[in-house]
Structure 1
C-alpha cells in the first residue's frame, strides 16, 4: 500500500481531501528509502507514533472540512492496521527481536552517543527504544545517521550533522531477519500471539 491509498482511506473515514493526510502517510513510509521490503516499517509501531510522528505533526490536524483529526488514531486505523490486513499492530520489540544478537558486540553505542550526552531531551529520545524493549540492540533504530539527520531535526529541531557516522541504517536492516508477519500480516508477531490464543481458545 502506498501513501496515496492510505490517504484515500483517511478521506473516506475522516473527510477532507487526500492532501490533508498525505504528508503524514508519506512520512510513515519514508523508511522505504532505507529498506526496500517490509522490514522498513519501524515507524509502524506505537513507539513510532508516540516518539516520532506525533511530535512532528502534533496530536491533531485540522482537515479541509475544518474537522479536528486525531493523528494517533489516523496512523493506527488508516495506515498500520490496513498494512497488516487489519489484524494487529506490531510493537517495537517485534522488530527488535528480528535483529541478529551478534551485531551488538560489533557496535559502540556509547561512543556514538557521547557527543549528545549533555542534551537530556535528545538522549531520552535516543534511548527510548531501549526503555521500551529492554534490549541494547534496539539502539540500532536511533543510533544511526538516518535518525540523527532525518528524525531528530524534525522532532527536536536540532541541526543536521555533516560528518561520517560510525553506525548507519544498513547496520540495522542488514542484520534484521525478514519475518512472515512483516509480509502484510501473513502471520502474527510474538506480541499478538498470546491475545490471539485467548481469543481462539
Structure 2
C-alpha cells in the first residue's frame, strides 16, 4: 500500500484532501529507502509514533476542512493497521527479536554512547529502543547514520553530521530476519500470540 492510498483512507475518515496527509504517510514509509521489503516498517510501531512521528509533526494537524486531526490515531488507524490487514500493530520488540543476537557483538554501543552521554535529550532518544525492549541489539535502530542524520535533526532540531559512521542502516537490516507477520499481517507476531490464545481459549 502506498502513501497516496493511505492518504485516501485518511480523507474518507477525516475529511480534507490527500495533500493534508501525504507528508505523514510518506514519512512513515520513508524507511523503504533503507530496505526494499517489509522489514523496513520499523516506524510502524508505537515507538515510531511516540519517538519519531509525533515529535516531528506534532500531536495534531489541521486539515483543509479546518478540522484538528490526531496524528497518533492517523498513524495507527489509517496506516499501520491497514498495512497489517487490521489485525495488529507490531511492537518494537517484534522487530528487534528478528535481529540476529550475534550481530550485537560486532558493535561497540558503549563507545558510541560516550559521544552523547552529556546530552540528555539526545541520550533519551538514542537509548529509547533499549528502554522499550531491554535488548542491546535494539540500539542498531538508533545508532546508525540514517537515524543520526535523518531523524535526530528533525526531532531535536540538530545539525547533520558530516563524517564517516561506523554503523549504517544496512547493518540493521542485514542482521534482521524476515518474519511472516511482516508480510502484510499474513500471521501474528509474538506480541499478539498470548492475547490470541486467551481469545481462542
| TM-score normalised over the length of structure 2 | 0.99
Corresponding residue for residue 42 of structure 2:
42
Q: Number of matched residues?
A: 201
Q: Is the Cα–Cα contact under 8 Å of residues 98 and 176 in structure 1 kept in the other structure?
A: yes
Corresponding residue for residue 103 of structure 1:
103
Corresponding residue for residue 132 of structure 1:
132
Corresponding residue for residue 193 of structure 2:
193
Q: Is the Cα–Cα contact under 8 Å of residues 144 and 168 in structure 1 kept in the other structure?
A: yes
Q: CA deviation at 1:112?
A: 2.0
Provide, for residues 10-65 of structure 1, a one-character-per-residue CA deviation record: whole Å limited to 9, x for no partner. Answer: 00000000000000000000000000000000000000000000000000000000
Q: How does 1:53-132 map to 2 (within 5 A)?
A: 53-132=53-132
Deviates more, 1:106-115 or 1:163-172: 106-115
Cα distance between partner residues in 1 of 2:119 and 2:196: 41
Gaps of 5+ in 1: none
Corresponding residue for residue 15 of structure 1:
15
Q: CA deviation at 1:114?
A: 2.0
Cα distance between partner residues in 1 of 2:118 and 2:71: 31
Q: What RMSD over aligned residues (CA atoms) do the two structures have, in Å?
A: 0.6
Cα distance between partner residues in 2 of 1:151 and 1:181: 26
Deviates more, 1:179-188 or 1:111-120: 111-120
User: Is residue 2:144 matched to residue 1:144?
Assistant: yes
Cα distance between partner residues in 2 of 1:175 and 1:128: 20
Provide, for residues 140-162 of structure 1, a one-character-per-residue CA deviation record: whole Å limited to 9, x for no partner. Answer: 00000000000000000010001
Q: Hey, which bits of structure 1, 4+ residues long, moved more than 3 A? A: none
Cα distance between partner residues in 2 of 1:31 and 1:142: 13
Q: CA deviation at 1:190?
A: 0.2
Corresponding residue for residue 2 of structure 1:
2
Cα distance between partner residues in 2 of 1:76 and 1:162: 34
Q: Is the Cα–Cα contact under 8 Å of residues 112 and 167 in structure 1 kept in the other structure?
A: no
